[in-house]
A and B are shown apart, each in its own frame.
Chain A
Amino acid sequence: MAEEVVLLDFRPSPFGMRSRIALAEKGIKYEYKEEDLRNKSALLLQMNPVHKKIPVLIHNGKPVCESLIQVQYIDEVWHDKAPLLPSDPYQKATARFWADYVDKKIYDLGSRVWKTKGEEQATAKKEFIETLKLMEKELGDKPYFGGESLGYVDVAFIPFYSWFYAYEKCGNFSIEAECPKLIAWAKRCMQKESVAKSLPDQQKVYDFILEMKKRFGIE
Protein backbone atom coordinates (compact mmCIF):
# COMPACT_ATOMS: atom_id res chain seq x y z
CA MET A 1 0.00 0.00 0.00
CA ALA A 2 1.34 3.46 -0.81
CA GLU A 3 2.38 5.25 2.35
CA GLU A 4 0.60 8.51 2.92
CA VAL A 5 2.33 10.87 5.33
CA VAL A 6 1.07 14.36 6.17
CA LEU A 7 2.60 16.80 8.65
CA LEU A 8 0.44 19.60 10.05
CA ASP A 9 2.98 22.16 11.16
CA PHE A 10 3.97 25.81 11.62
CA ARG A 11 7.31 26.87 10.18
CA PRO A 12 8.81 28.63 13.25
CA SER A 13 7.79 25.84 15.67
CA PRO A 14 10.82 24.06 17.15
CA PHE A 15 8.52 21.11 17.87
CA GLY A 16 7.49 20.83 14.22
CA MET A 17 11.16 21.04 13.23
CA ARG A 18 11.88 17.86 15.20
CA SER A 19 9.45 15.84 13.09
CA ARG A 20 10.69 17.47 9.87
CA ILE A 21 14.25 16.43 10.71
CA ALA A 22 13.24 12.86 11.60
CA LEU A 23 11.27 12.46 8.36
CA ALA A 24 14.17 13.89 6.33
CA GLU A 25 16.73 11.66 8.07
CA LYS A 26 14.68 8.63 7.01
CA GLY A 27 14.11 9.97 3.48
CA ILE A 28 10.33 9.86 3.85
CA LYS A 29 8.22 11.74 1.32
CA TYR A 30 5.40 13.62 2.99
CA GLU A 31 2.93 16.43 2.46
CA TYR A 32 3.68 19.51 4.54
CA LYS A 33 0.65 21.59 5.56
CA GLU A 34 1.28 24.97 7.15
CA GLU A 35 -1.34 25.88 9.75
CA ASP A 36 -2.53 29.37 10.59
CA LEU A 37 -2.57 29.10 14.36
CA ARG A 38 -5.11 31.90 14.68
CA ASN A 39 -7.44 30.02 12.34
CA LYS A 40 -6.84 26.32 12.89
CA SER A 41 -7.99 23.97 10.15
CA ALA A 42 -10.83 21.51 10.62
CA LEU A 43 -8.28 18.76 9.93
CA LEU A 44 -6.05 19.88 12.82
CA LEU A 45 -9.00 20.06 15.24
CA GLN A 46 -10.16 16.63 14.10
CA MET A 47 -6.71 15.01 14.32
CA ASN A 48 -5.70 16.58 17.65
CA PRO A 49 -8.94 17.25 19.54
CA VAL A 50 -7.25 17.05 22.95
CA HIS A 51 -4.56 19.69 22.50
CA LYS A 52 -5.45 21.30 19.14
CA LYS A 53 -1.72 21.87 18.57
CA ILE A 54 0.87 21.29 15.90
CA PRO A 55 2.78 19.32 14.87
CA VAL A 56 0.46 16.45 14.00
CA LEU A 57 1.82 13.56 11.96
CA ILE A 58 -0.86 11.75 9.97
CA HIS A 59 0.24 8.34 8.69
CA ASN A 60 -2.24 6.57 6.43
CA GLY A 61 -5.02 8.63 7.98
CA LYS A 62 -4.04 7.95 11.62
CA PRO A 63 -2.76 10.84 13.75
CA VAL A 64 0.26 10.85 16.03
CA CYS A 65 0.50 13.89 18.33
CA GLU A 66 3.35 15.37 20.40
CA SER A 67 6.69 15.93 18.66
CA LEU A 68 8.91 13.53 20.64
CA ILE A 69 6.26 10.83 20.38
CA GLN A 70 6.25 11.44 16.60
CA VAL A 71 10.05 11.15 16.43
CA GLN A 72 9.93 7.82 18.28
CA TYR A 73 7.09 6.65 16.04
CA ILE A 74 9.03 7.59 12.89
CA ASP A 75 12.09 5.80 14.28
CA GLU A 76 10.09 2.65 15.02
CA VAL A 77 8.14 2.49 11.73
CA TRP A 78 11.08 3.33 9.44
CA HIS A 79 13.61 1.41 11.48
CA ASP A 80 15.83 0.33 8.58
CA LYS A 81 17.40 3.69 7.94
CA ALA A 82 19.27 6.22 10.11
CA PRO A 83 18.28 4.94 13.58
CA LEU A 84 17.75 7.84 15.97
CA LEU A 85 17.45 5.94 19.25
CA PRO A 86 20.20 3.51 20.34
CA SER A 87 19.28 -0.16 20.65
CA ASP A 88 20.75 -0.63 24.13
CA PRO A 89 18.02 -0.03 26.76
CA TYR A 90 20.26 1.97 29.11
CA GLN A 91 21.56 4.22 26.32
CA LYS A 92 17.98 4.61 25.12
CA ALA A 93 16.89 5.63 28.63
CA THR A 94 19.72 8.17 28.78
CA ALA A 95 18.64 9.64 25.42
CA ARG A 96 15.01 9.82 26.58
CA PHE A 97 16.07 11.50 29.82
CA TRP A 98 17.96 14.28 28.00
CA ALA A 99 15.23 14.83 25.39
CA ASP A 100 12.79 15.16 28.31
CA TYR A 101 15.18 17.65 29.94
CA VAL A 102 15.18 19.75 26.76
CA ASP A 103 11.36 19.64 26.79
CA LYS A 104 11.15 20.69 30.43
CA LYS A 105 13.64 23.53 30.27
CA ILE A 106 14.65 25.03 26.95
CA TYR A 107 11.34 26.24 25.51
CA ASP A 108 10.02 27.80 28.73
CA LEU A 109 13.29 29.47 29.69
CA GLY A 110 13.82 30.71 26.13
CA SER A 111 10.27 32.10 26.10
CA ARG A 112 10.92 33.95 29.33
CA VAL A 113 14.05 35.47 27.79
CA TRP A 114 12.13 37.09 24.89
CA LYS A 115 8.90 37.82 26.75
CA THR A 116 10.22 39.54 29.86
CA LYS A 117 12.37 42.50 30.86
CA GLY A 118 14.56 43.68 33.75
CA GLU A 119 14.97 41.44 36.77
CA GLU A 120 12.75 38.66 35.40
CA GLN A 121 14.67 38.54 32.14
CA ALA A 122 18.03 38.57 33.93
CA THR A 123 16.96 35.52 35.95
CA ALA A 124 15.66 33.75 32.84
CA LYS A 125 18.92 34.41 30.98
CA LYS A 126 20.98 33.05 33.86
CA GLU A 127 18.92 29.86 34.12
CA PHE A 128 18.85 29.47 30.34
CA ILE A 129 22.65 29.61 30.12
CA GLU A 130 22.97 27.15 33.02
CA THR A 131 20.70 24.75 31.13
CA LEU A 132 22.76 25.10 27.94
CA LYS A 133 25.97 24.52 29.91
CA LEU A 134 24.54 21.31 31.33
CA MET A 135 23.70 20.15 27.80
CA GLU A 136 27.26 21.07 26.77
CA LYS A 137 28.60 18.92 29.60
CA GLU A 138 26.41 16.01 28.49
CA LEU A 139 27.69 16.37 24.92
CA GLY A 140 31.30 16.19 26.11
CA ASP A 141 33.71 15.36 23.32
CA LYS A 142 31.17 13.57 21.15
CA PRO A 143 30.39 15.08 17.74
CA TYR A 144 26.66 14.57 18.40
CA PHE A 145 24.59 13.71 21.48
CA GLY A 146 23.87 10.49 19.59
CA GLY A 147 27.59 9.73 19.31
CA GLU A 148 29.05 9.48 15.84
CA SER A 149 25.76 10.29 14.13
CA LEU A 150 22.69 12.46 14.71
CA GLY A 151 20.45 10.92 17.35
CA TYR A 152 17.27 11.46 19.33
CA VAL A 153 18.65 14.17 21.62
CA ASP A 154 20.19 16.06 18.69
CA VAL A 155 16.80 16.03 16.92
CA ALA A 156 15.05 17.16 20.11
CA PHE A 157 17.45 20.01 20.77
CA ILE A 158 18.80 21.43 17.47
CA PRO A 159 15.53 23.18 16.47
CA PHE A 160 16.08 25.68 19.29
CA TYR A 161 19.28 26.79 17.56
CA SER A 162 17.10 28.56 14.99
CA TRP A 163 15.74 30.63 17.89
CA PHE A 164 19.14 31.52 19.41
CA TYR A 165 19.57 34.74 17.42
CA ALA A 166 16.12 35.93 18.56
CA TYR A 167 16.94 35.06 22.21
CA GLU A 168 20.29 36.88 21.92
CA LYS A 169 18.80 40.02 20.42
CA CYS A 170 15.94 40.16 22.91
CA GLY A 171 18.15 39.35 25.87
CA ASN A 172 21.20 41.28 24.73
CA PHE A 173 23.70 38.49 25.30
CA SER A 174 25.85 36.09 23.32
CA ILE A 175 25.18 32.37 23.59
CA GLU A 176 28.40 31.53 21.72
CA ALA A 177 30.48 33.46 24.26
CA GLU A 178 29.00 31.33 27.06
CA CYS A 179 28.71 27.99 25.25
CA PRO A 180 31.18 27.76 22.36
CA LYS A 181 31.16 23.96 22.26
CA LEU A 182 27.39 23.94 21.96
CA ILE A 183 27.49 26.37 19.04
CA ALA A 184 30.13 24.20 17.38
CA TRP A 185 27.77 21.23 17.78
CA ALA A 186 24.88 23.24 16.35
CA LYS A 187 26.89 24.27 13.30
CA ARG A 188 27.92 20.65 12.81
CA CYS A 189 24.25 19.63 12.79
CA MET A 190 23.41 22.42 10.34
CA GLN A 191 25.84 20.84 7.87
CA LYS A 192 23.36 18.00 7.52
CA GLU A 193 20.76 18.53 4.81
CA SER A 194 18.00 17.05 6.98
CA VAL A 195 18.62 19.75 9.58
CA ALA A 196 19.40 22.69 7.28
CA LYS A 197 16.20 22.17 5.28
CA SER A 198 14.04 21.78 8.41
CA LEU A 199 15.10 24.89 10.29
CA PRO A 200 13.94 28.36 9.28
CA ASP A 201 16.45 31.16 8.89
CA GLN A 202 17.37 32.75 12.26
CA GLN A 203 16.51 36.24 11.01
CA LYS A 204 13.04 35.02 10.01
CA VAL A 205 12.49 33.61 13.49
CA TYR A 206 13.58 36.93 15.01
CA ASP A 207 11.13 38.78 12.73
CA PHE A 208 8.40 36.37 13.89
CA ILE A 209 9.28 37.07 17.56
CA LEU A 210 9.14 40.83 16.94
CA GLU A 211 5.70 40.33 15.39
CA MET A 212 4.62 38.33 18.48
CA LYS A 213 5.94 41.01 20.81
CA LYS A 214 3.99 43.69 18.95
CA ARG A 215 0.84 41.58 18.95
CA PHE A 216 1.00 40.87 22.68
CA GLY A 217 2.15 44.34 23.62
CA ILE A 218 5.57 43.28 24.90
CA GLU A 219 8.29 45.89 24.45
Chain B
Amino acid sequence: MAEEVKLLKTWSSAFGLRVVWALKLKGIPYEAIDEDLSNKSALLLQYNPVHKKIPVLVHNGNPISESLVILEYIDETWKQNPILPQDPLHRARERFWAKFNDEKLLPSAWGAFTKEGKDREEAMAATMENLKFVEEELKGKKFFSGEKIGLVDLVFGWLANLISIFEEVTGFNIVGDGYPLLSAWMQEFSELPVIKDTWPPRDKMIIKYQALYDKYHPAK
Protein backbone atom coordinates (compact mmCIF):
# COMPACT_ATOMS: atom_id res chain seq x y z
CA MET B 1 0.00 0.00 0.00
CA ALA B 2 1.33 3.46 -0.80
CA GLU B 3 2.46 5.25 2.33
CA GLU B 4 0.69 8.50 2.98
CA VAL B 5 2.42 10.76 5.45
CA LYS B 6 1.24 14.25 6.38
CA LEU B 7 2.78 16.58 8.94
CA LEU B 8 0.75 19.39 10.47
CA LYS B 9 3.17 22.01 11.83
CA THR B 10 3.89 25.73 11.67
CA TRP B 11 6.60 27.65 9.80
CA SER B 12 8.49 28.42 13.02
CA SER B 13 7.80 25.71 15.60
CA ALA B 14 10.87 23.91 16.93
CA PHE B 15 8.66 20.94 17.85
CA GLY B 16 7.50 20.59 14.25
CA LEU B 17 11.06 21.02 13.01
CA ARG B 18 12.35 18.05 15.01
CA VAL B 19 9.81 15.85 13.21
CA VAL B 20 10.85 17.32 9.82
CA TRP B 21 14.45 16.35 10.64
CA ALA B 22 13.48 12.78 11.58
CA LEU B 23 11.50 12.33 8.35
CA LYS B 24 14.40 13.80 6.31
CA LEU B 25 16.95 11.62 8.10
CA LYS B 26 15.00 8.52 7.13
CA GLY B 27 14.20 9.76 3.62
CA ILE B 28 10.42 9.60 4.15
CA PRO B 29 8.36 11.63 1.68
CA TYR B 30 5.57 13.60 3.32
CA GLU B 31 3.12 16.43 2.78
CA ALA B 32 3.77 19.44 5.04
CA ILE B 33 0.75 21.44 6.16
CA ASP B 34 1.59 24.73 7.88
CA GLU B 35 -1.10 25.78 10.33
CA ASP B 36 -2.10 29.26 11.40
CA LEU B 37 -2.51 28.76 15.16
CA SER B 38 -4.71 31.82 15.47
CA ASN B 39 -7.13 30.11 13.08
CA LYS B 40 -6.75 26.36 13.57
CA SER B 41 -7.91 24.19 10.69
CA ALA B 42 -10.77 21.71 10.99
CA LEU B 43 -8.19 19.05 10.13
CA LEU B 44 -6.00 19.92 13.13
CA LEU B 45 -8.99 19.96 15.50
CA GLN B 46 -10.08 16.60 14.12
CA TYR B 47 -6.62 15.00 14.35
CA ASN B 48 -5.67 16.39 17.78
CA PRO B 49 -8.91 17.04 19.66
CA VAL B 50 -7.27 16.63 23.08
CA HIS B 51 -4.53 19.29 22.84
CA LYS B 52 -5.36 21.05 19.54
CA LYS B 53 -1.63 21.53 19.00
CA ILE B 54 1.01 20.89 16.38
CA PRO B 55 2.92 18.90 15.37
CA VAL B 56 0.60 16.09 14.33
CA LEU B 57 1.86 13.28 12.11
CA VAL B 58 -0.81 11.53 10.06
CA HIS B 59 0.27 8.15 8.71
CA ASN B 60 -2.21 6.45 6.38
CA GLY B 61 -4.98 8.43 8.02
CA ASN B 62 -3.88 7.64 11.60
CA PRO B 63 -2.94 10.73 13.64
CA ILE B 64 -0.15 10.83 16.22
CA SER B 65 0.33 13.85 18.50
CA GLU B 66 3.11 15.02 20.84
CA SER B 67 6.50 15.42 19.16
CA LEU B 68 8.40 12.91 21.32
CA VAL B 69 5.68 10.28 20.77
CA ILE B 70 5.86 11.05 17.04
CA LEU B 71 9.66 10.67 16.96
CA GLU B 72 9.50 7.22 18.61
CA TYR B 73 6.70 6.19 16.24
CA ILE B 74 8.76 7.25 13.22
CA ASP B 75 11.77 5.32 14.54
CA GLU B 76 9.72 2.16 15.09
CA THR B 77 7.92 2.33 11.75
CA TRP B 78 10.86 3.21 9.45
CA LYS B 79 13.96 1.31 10.54
CA GLN B 80 16.64 2.99 8.37
CA ASN B 81 18.96 5.53 10.07
CA PRO B 82 17.72 4.83 13.60
CA ILE B 83 17.42 7.77 15.98
CA LEU B 84 17.30 5.63 19.13
CA PRO B 85 19.87 2.97 20.06
CA GLN B 86 18.93 -0.66 20.69
CA ASP B 87 20.29 -1.00 24.21
CA PRO B 88 17.58 -0.30 26.87
CA LEU B 89 19.90 1.70 29.14
CA HIS B 90 21.05 3.97 26.31
CA ARG B 91 17.44 4.37 25.19
CA ALA B 92 16.49 5.35 28.75
CA ARG B 93 19.27 7.98 28.77
CA GLU B 94 18.14 9.46 25.45
CA ARG B 95 14.55 9.65 26.70
CA PHE B 96 15.78 11.30 29.91
CA TRP B 97 17.56 14.11 28.08
CA ALA B 98 14.67 14.62 25.65
CA LYS B 99 12.35 15.05 28.64
CA PHE B 100 14.89 17.34 30.34
CA ASN B 101 14.88 19.63 27.31
CA ASP B 102 11.10 19.84 27.09
CA GLU B 103 10.35 20.08 30.81
CA LYS B 104 13.35 22.01 32.18
CA LEU B 105 15.63 23.68 29.64
CA LEU B 106 13.04 25.09 27.26
CA PRO B 107 10.75 26.48 30.00
CA SER B 108 13.73 28.09 31.80
CA ALA B 109 14.96 29.67 28.55
CA TRP B 110 11.46 30.90 27.75
CA GLY B 111 11.21 32.33 31.27
CA ALA B 112 14.52 34.14 30.81
CA PHE B 113 13.16 35.60 27.57
CA THR B 114 9.72 36.66 28.80
CA LYS B 115 10.01 37.48 32.50
CA GLU B 116 11.09 40.65 34.24
CA GLY B 117 12.99 41.66 37.33
CA LYS B 118 13.70 39.02 39.95
CA ASP B 119 11.73 36.36 38.03
CA ARG B 120 13.97 36.94 35.05
CA GLU B 121 17.12 36.62 37.18
CA GLU B 122 15.89 33.30 38.57
CA ALA B 123 14.98 32.03 35.10
CA MET B 124 18.38 33.06 33.74
CA ALA B 125 20.18 31.31 36.62
CA ALA B 126 18.09 28.16 36.00
CA THR B 127 18.89 28.31 32.28
CA MET B 128 22.61 28.62 32.97
CA GLU B 129 22.48 25.65 35.34
CA ASN B 130 20.48 23.58 32.86
CA LEU B 131 22.96 24.42 30.08
CA LYS B 132 25.78 23.22 32.37
CA PHE B 133 24.13 19.80 32.55
CA VAL B 134 23.83 19.79 28.75
CA GLU B 135 27.51 20.77 28.36
CA GLU B 136 28.49 17.97 30.77
CA GLU B 137 26.51 15.46 28.71
CA LEU B 138 28.57 16.28 25.60
CA LYS B 139 31.91 15.33 27.22
CA GLY B 140 33.83 12.94 25.01
CA LYS B 141 31.17 12.90 22.32
CA LYS B 142 30.76 14.55 18.93
CA PHE B 143 26.98 14.47 19.12
CA PHE B 144 24.72 13.71 22.08
CA SER B 145 24.00 10.30 20.56
CA GLY B 146 27.67 9.59 19.73
CA GLU B 147 29.23 9.60 16.25
CA LYS B 148 25.90 10.21 14.55
CA ILE B 149 22.94 12.33 15.56
CA GLY B 150 20.02 10.74 17.37
CA LEU B 151 16.93 11.65 19.34
CA VAL B 152 18.68 13.92 21.82
CA ASP B 153 20.40 15.94 19.08
CA LEU B 154 17.07 16.44 17.31
CA VAL B 155 15.46 17.57 20.58
CA PHE B 156 18.29 19.97 21.56
CA GLY B 157 18.50 21.14 17.94
CA TRP B 158 16.51 24.33 18.61
CA LEU B 159 19.51 25.67 20.54
CA ALA B 160 21.56 25.85 17.34
CA ASN B 161 19.12 28.36 15.87
CA LEU B 162 17.04 30.05 18.54
CA ILE B 163 19.89 30.97 20.91
CA SER B 164 21.41 33.38 18.38
CA ILE B 165 17.97 34.83 17.70
CA PHE B 166 17.34 35.34 21.43
CA GLU B 167 20.78 36.95 21.71
CA GLU B 168 20.12 39.32 18.83
CA VAL B 169 16.69 40.35 20.14
CA THR B 170 17.60 40.72 23.84
CA GLY B 171 21.19 41.91 23.49
CA PHE B 172 22.24 39.32 26.08
CA ASN B 173 25.10 36.93 25.48
CA ILE B 174 23.64 33.58 26.50
CA VAL B 175 25.97 30.78 25.40
CA GLY B 176 29.20 32.77 24.90
CA ASP B 177 32.47 31.24 26.01
CA GLY B 178 31.05 29.38 28.98
CA TYR B 179 29.92 26.36 26.98
CA PRO B 180 32.67 25.37 24.52
CA LEU B 181 31.35 21.84 23.85
CA LEU B 182 27.83 23.12 23.28
CA SER B 183 29.09 25.87 20.96
CA ALA B 184 31.05 23.30 18.92
CA TRP B 185 28.04 20.97 18.78
CA MET B 186 25.75 23.80 17.60
CA GLN B 187 28.15 24.44 14.72
CA GLU B 188 28.53 20.75 13.75
CA PHE B 189 24.80 20.12 14.01
CA SER B 190 23.86 23.11 11.83
CA GLU B 191 26.26 22.01 9.09
CA LEU B 192 24.79 18.52 8.69
CA PRO B 193 23.10 18.03 5.27
CA VAL B 194 19.86 16.98 6.97
CA ILE B 195 19.76 20.13 9.11
CA LYS B 196 21.29 22.76 6.81
CA ASP B 197 18.75 24.93 5.05
CA THR B 198 15.86 23.68 7.19
CA TRP B 199 15.83 26.62 9.60
CA PRO B 200 12.84 28.97 9.31
CA PRO B 201 13.72 32.25 7.52
CA ARG B 202 15.89 34.26 9.92
CA ASP B 203 14.42 37.66 9.13
CA LYS B 204 10.92 36.37 9.82
CA MET B 205 12.13 34.82 13.10
CA ILE B 206 13.73 38.08 14.25
CA ILE B 207 10.47 39.94 13.54
CA LYS B 208 8.44 37.29 15.37
CA TYR B 209 10.67 37.14 18.44
CA GLN B 210 11.17 40.90 18.59
CA ALA B 211 7.39 41.31 18.65
CA LEU B 212 7.08 38.69 21.38
CA TYR B 213 9.85 40.33 23.40
CA ASP B 214 8.18 43.74 23.11
CA LYS B 215 4.90 42.21 24.21
CA TYR B 216 6.48 40.78 27.38
CA HIS B 217 8.60 43.85 28.08
CA PRO B 218 6.37 46.82 27.27
CA ALA B 219 8.17 50.16 27.26
CA LYS B 220 7.14 52.12 30.32
Known: A50-B133, A92-B76, A97-B69. A64 touches B89 (CB 8 A): yes
Query: What mask results when residues 60 to 78 of chain B are scored 1 for a CB within 8 Å of chain A, else 0?
Result: 0010111011101100110
CA of A62 to CA of B87, assembled, Å: 13
Mostly helix, strand, loop or mixed at chain B's interface? helix
* Cα distance A97–B50 in the bound complex, in angstroms: 10
Stretch with Cβ within 8 A of A (4 or more), from B15-23, B92-100, B183-191, B206-214: B92-100
Select A89's contact among B65, B77, B100, beta carbons within 8 Å: B77
Q: Are the C-beta atoms of A101 and B99 separated by less than 8 Å?
A: no
Residues in chain A near residue B66, CB distance under 8 A: 96-97, 100
Tell me, yes or no, whether A216 is within 8 Å of chain B by CB. Answer: no
Q: Is the CB of B76 within 8 A of A89?
A: yes
Are the C-beta atoms of A69 and B92 separated by less than 8 Å?
yes
Given A73-B91, A97-B64, A66–B50 Cβ distance below 8 Å? no
Q: Shortest distance in angstroms between A145's beta carbon and chain B's nearest beta carbon? A: 15
Q: Does B88 interact with chain A (Cβ within 8 Å)?
A: yes
Knowing A50-B100, A89-B73, A89-B76 touch, does A73 contact B88 (C-beta < 8 A)? yes
Q: Is A170 an interface residue (CB 8 A)?
A: no
Cβ–Cβ contact B77 & A69, under 8 A: no
B73–A90 touching, CB < 8 Å: yes
Q: Is the CB of A96 within 8 A of B91?
A: no
Chain B residues, CB < 8 A from A89: 73, 76-77
* A100 to B66 CA separation, bound complex (whole angstroms): 9
Q: How far is A57 from B62 in the complex, measured between Cα atoms in Å? A: 35
**CB–CB A69/B73 < 8 A:** no
Does any Cβ of B come within 8 Å of A134's Cβ? yes
**Cβ–Cβ < 8 Å partners of A101 in chain B:** 50
Q: Which B residues, 95 to 136, have Cβ-Cβ distances below 8 Å to chain A?
A: 95-96, 99-100, 133
Contact-size category for B: 20 to 34
**For window 118-173 of chain A, which residues contact chain B by CB distance below 8 Å?**
134
A66 to B91, CA, bound (A): 13
A65 within 8 A of partner (CB): yes
Q: Specify which of B72, B76, B77, B89 is in contact with A62 (CB 8 Å cutoff).
A: B89
- Identify the interface centre among B50, B88, B99: most chain A CB within 10 Å of its CB: B88
* Interface residue from B64, B72, B73, B88 paired with A76 (Cβ < 8 Å): B88
CA distance A213 to B68 in the complex (A): 36
Within 8 A of A (CB), among B35-90: 50, 59, 62, 64-66, 68-70, 72-73, 76-77, 88-89
A2 at the A/B interface (Cβ < 8 Å)?
Answer: no
A65 contacts B76, C-beta separation under 8 Å = no
Report A87-104 residues with CB < 8 Å from chain B CB. Answer: 89-90, 92-93, 96-97, 100-101
The CA of A59 and the CA of B70, in the complex, are separated in Å by: 28
Interchain CA distance A93-B65 in the complex, whole Å: 9
Contact A72 B69 (CB under 8 A): no
Contacts of A42 in B (CB 8 A): none
A59 and chain B: residue at smallest CB distance: B89
The answer to the question of A1 belonging to the interface, with a C-beta cut-off of 8 Å to chain B, is no
Whether A100 contacts B69 in the complex (CB less than 8 A), given A89-B76, A92-B76, comes out as yes
Given A73-B88, A100-B69, A90 contacting B96 (CB threshold 8 A): no
B interface with A by C-beta (< 8 Å): 50, 59, 62, 64-66, 68-70, 72-73, 76-77, 88-89, 91-92, 95-96, 99-100, 133
Residues on A lying within 8 angstroms of B by beta carbon are 50, 59, 62, 64-66, 69-70, 72-73, 76-77, 89-90, 92-93, 96-97, 100-101, 134
List 15 interface pairs A-B (beta carbons < 8 Å), by A numbering.
A64-B89, A73-B88, A73-B91, A89-B73, A90-B59, A90-B62, A92-B72, A93-B69, A93-B70, A96-B68, A96-B72, A97-B65, A97-B69, A100-B69, A101-B50
Q: Pick the 8 closest A-B CB pairs, nearest first.
A: A76-B88, A89-B76, A93-B73, A73-B92, A96-B69, A64-B92, A69-B95, A93-B64
A66-B96, A69-B95, A93-B69 given; name 9 further pairs at CB < 8 Å.
Answer: A50-B100, A50-B133, A62-B89, A69-B99, A90-B62, A92-B76, A96-B72, A97-B69, A100-B66
